[in-house]
Chain A
Amino acid sequence: MSVAIHGLSQALADAVAEAFRADGYELGEPADIVVVGVESPSGVDLLDLSHASWDAAIADARTAFFSMQQAARSIVAQGNGGCLLVVVPVHALRTSRGCGPAAVVGSFLATAAQVAAVELGAKGIRVNVLAVGPLEGEADPRAADAVPLGRLTRPADVGAACVMLAGTAAGYLTGTVVPIDGGYVVTKAAGGSPFVGA
C-alpha cells in the first residue's frame, strides 16, 4: 500500500507521512491511499475580505478538487481500489467570526468528497473527510478553553486519524466527515455551554 500526500501544510504533511511510515506504509506514486488537503485560509470578516484573498481561497479549493480527481483516476487505473482522505478546516462543520474563507472552502470540498464517495464506491474507492480543529502553533491558544479534551489539535492527531481511516478497520466507512478536533465542534464554548463563562 502506497501513500501520497497533496496540499497539506508542511507540519501536517510531515505528521501524516510519519504516521503512515510508522504503520508500515510506503510513501510514493502511484498511490492507492491519497491524502488531499487545503491550508486553512487566514481569515478576516467577509465584509473586509479582499478579492485577492477570496480568489486565493478558491484557487486552493480548485487545486484540491483536481488533486482528488487525479488521485481517483489513478486508483481506478490501477484497478485495486483505494482510499481518498480529504483534510479540511473544521469550520466546514461550524463556522466562526473571521473564518468565512475556511468555512466556504471546507464546506465546498467536504460536499465534493461526499459526491465522489457516492460515485466511486462501486469502484472500490472510499472517500472520507477529516475536519481538523484549530491547530497548536497556529490558532490562538485560548481557543483550547473551548475544546472538551482541553488542548488544540496536534498534527500527530491528524496523522493518526488518517491511518485509522485508511486502514481495514475503516473498510466500510465512506462519505463520512470526521471531526479531528478534541470535541471542539460539539460546543465551541468555553466550559461547554455558551451560558457558562470560563
Chain B
Amino acid sequence: MTGAARERGIGRGIATCLAEEGCDVAINDVGAEGEAAGLVADLEGLGRRAAFFPADVSDRAAVDEMIAAVESELGPIDIVCSNAGVADWQGFLDVTEESFDRLVSVNLTGAFNVCQGAAAAMVAAGRPGKIVVTSSVHVQMPFAEMSVYGATKAGLKGMVETMAIELAPHGITANHIGPGWVRSFINDSSPSLQTDEEVRSTLELIPAGRPADPRELGRAAVYLCSADGDYVTGEYLRVDGGFVVGKY
C-alpha cells in the first residue's frame, strides 16, 4: 500500500479498511515515519500484521528492494494498491521542468514501478492477485492549472486498462478508483481551497455536499479486492459524491 502513512490521506483509509477485512498490510511512504508508526500500531490493534517500508516509488531499485522485503517479512503479495501521488498547481504556460518531472516520476512512473514489480511477484509465485490504482476524477474532468497532474492520472487509466487485458490470464485484476475531493494533506495547498468561502463554494459543486472520507475510498478498494470483485477488471470506480455527474 503505497502513499499510506499520512494522516487524513486516502492511502491510510484504504490500508485501514483492508486490514479490517483481514489483510496484513505493508505500509509504504516517504518520510512520515511518525505517522507510519501510528498506523502500524493501529493495524496491529486490529489483530493484523503490519510494517512500514519507507521507499520512494520513483526509485526502481528501492521499489524492487521493498517488494522483496515485503515478501520476506509478510509473505506473498496478494493485493497491491498504488496510491502515492503528488500535485502542483501551475498554469500550462508556466509549468516548470522540475514540477513536470516530480509529478510524472511519482504519479506515473512510480505507479508503473510498483504495479509491474508486484505483478511480476504475483506471477512468479503463481498466485492470483489484485491491483488497485488511485487515479482521480481528473481522468475524465481536466482541471485548469493541473495539466501535468491530470495527464498523469489519465496515463494511469491507460496503464491500468492495458494491465487488465494483459494480466487476466494470470488471474490478476487491475482497476482504478477515482476520488473527487478528499480533505487530505495533498489538497491543503490547493489555491482554490484556502478560505472558508472557497471551501463552501467547492462543496456546492459536489452533489453529496461534502468531501469524501478516506475510508470511503477504502471500502471501494475492499470491493475490488474481494471475491465480489473477481470479475471486475479494467474498471474505473469513481468515489466522488457525484462531483463529475452532470458536468462531464
Q: A and B: partners?
A: yes
Chain A residues at the B interface, C-beta cutoff of 8 Å: 45-47, 49, 51, 54-55, 58, 61-62, 65-66, 69, 72-73, 76, 91-92, 95-100, 102-112, 114-116, 118-120
Whether a CB of chain A sits under 8 angstroms from the CB of B151 is yes
Known: A92-B158, A103-B161, A109-B151. 11 other contacts (CB 8 A): A46-B162, A47-B120, A95-B162, A103-B162, A104-B162, A107-B158, A111-B139, A111-B142, A115-B144, A120-B92, A120-B93
Please name all residues of chain B whose beta carbon is closer than 8 Å to the beta carbon of A120 when the two chains form the complex: 92-93
Separation of A45 and B116 alpha carbons in the complex (Å):
10
Enumerate B139-170 residues with CB–CB distance to A below 8 Å.
139, 142-148, 150-159, 161-163, 165-167
Do A112 and B144 have beta carbons less than 8 Å apart?
no
Given A58-B109, A100-B166, A104-B108, A46–B116 Cβ distance below 8 Å?
yes
Given A76-B93, A92-B158, A120-B92, A108–B60 Cβ distance below 8 Å?
no
Please name all residues of chain B whose beta carbon is closer than 8 Å to the beta carbon of A54 when the two chains form the complex: 109, 112
Do B153 and A111 have beta carbons less than 8 Å apart?
yes
Which residue on chain A has the smallest CB distance to residue B164?
A95
The listed residue (A46, A98, A100, A112) touching B151 by CB distance below 8 A is A112
Count of residues in B whose CB is under 8 Å from the partner chain:
42
20 A-B pairs in the complex with CB atoms less than 8 angstroms apart: A46-B112, A47-B119, A47-B123, A58-B109, A62-B101, A73-B93, A92-B158, A95-B162, A100-B158, A103-B158, A103-B162, A106-B158, A109-B151, A110-B154, A111-B142, A111-B150, A112-B151, A115-B142, A115-B146, A118-B142
Separation of A97 and B93 alpha carbons in the complex (Å):
35
Please name all residues of chain B whose beta carbon is closer than 8 Å to the beta carbon of A107 when the two chains form the complex: 151, 154-155, 157-158
Whether a CB of chain A sits under 8 angstroms from the CB of B95 is yes
Q: Closest CB of chain A to B153's CB: distance in Å?
A: 7
Chain B residues at the A interface, C-beta cutoff of 8 Å: 60, 91-93, 95, 97, 100-101, 104, 108-109, 112, 115-116, 119-120, 123, 138-139, 142-148, 150-159, 161-163, 165-167
Do A45 and B166 have beta carbons less than 8 Å apart?
yes
Which residue on chain B has the smallest CB distance to residue A93?
B158
Q: Closest CB of chain A to B121's CB: distance in Å?
A: 11
The listed residue (B60, B97, B154, B159) touching A111 by CB distance below 8 A is B154
Please name all residues of chain A whose beta carbon is closer than 8 Å to the beta carbon of B116 when the two chains form the complex: 46-47, 49
Separation of A99 and B146 alpha carbons in the complex (Å):
26
Please name all residues of chain A whose beta carbon is closer than 8 Å to the beta carbon of B156 when the two chains form the complex: 104
Which residue on chain A has the smallest CB distance to residue B138?
A111
Do A112 and B97 have beta carbons less than 8 Å apart?
no
Q: Closest CB of chain A to B57's CB: distance in Å?
A: 13
Please name all residues of chain B whose beta carbon is closer than 8 Å to the beta carbon of A58 when the two chains form the complex: 104, 108-109
The listed residue (A47, A91, A92, A108) touching B166 by CB distance below 8 A is A47
Do A100 and B147 have beta carbons less than 8 Å apart?
no
Do A51 and B60 have beta carbons less than 8 Å apart?
yes
Please name all residues of chain A whose beta carbon is closer than 8 Å to the beta carbon of B162 when the two chains form the complex: 46, 95-97, 99-100, 103-104
Most buried by A among B97, B138, B148: B148
Please name all residues of chain A whose beta carbon is closer than 8 Å to the beta carbon of B145 when the two chains form the complex: 115, 119
Please name all residues of chain A whose beta carbon is closer than 8 Å to the beta carbon of B100 when the two chains form the complex: 62, 65-66
Separation of A114 and B153 alpha carbons in the complex (Å):
13
Which residue on chain A has the smallest CB distance to residue B145?
A119
Separation of A55 and B112 alpha carbons in the complex (Å):
11
Do B143 and A95 have beta carbons less than 8 Å apart?
no
Most buried by A among B60, B116, B166: B166
Separation of A161 and B156 alpha carbons in the complex (Å):
28
Q: Closest CB of chain A to B143's CB: distance in Å?
A: 7
Separation of A110 and B153 alpha carbons in the complex (Å):
11
Please name all residues of chain A whose beta carbon is closer than 8 Å to the beta carbon of B157 when the two chains form the complex: 107
Separation of A66 and B148 alpha carbons in the complex (Å):
11
Separation of A118 and B150 alpha carbons in the complex (Å):
13
Please name all residues of chain A whose beta carbon is closer than 8 Å to the beta carbon of B139 when the two chains form the complex: 111
Please name all residues of chain A whose beta carbon is closer than 8 Å to the beta carbon of B152 when the two chains form the complex: 108
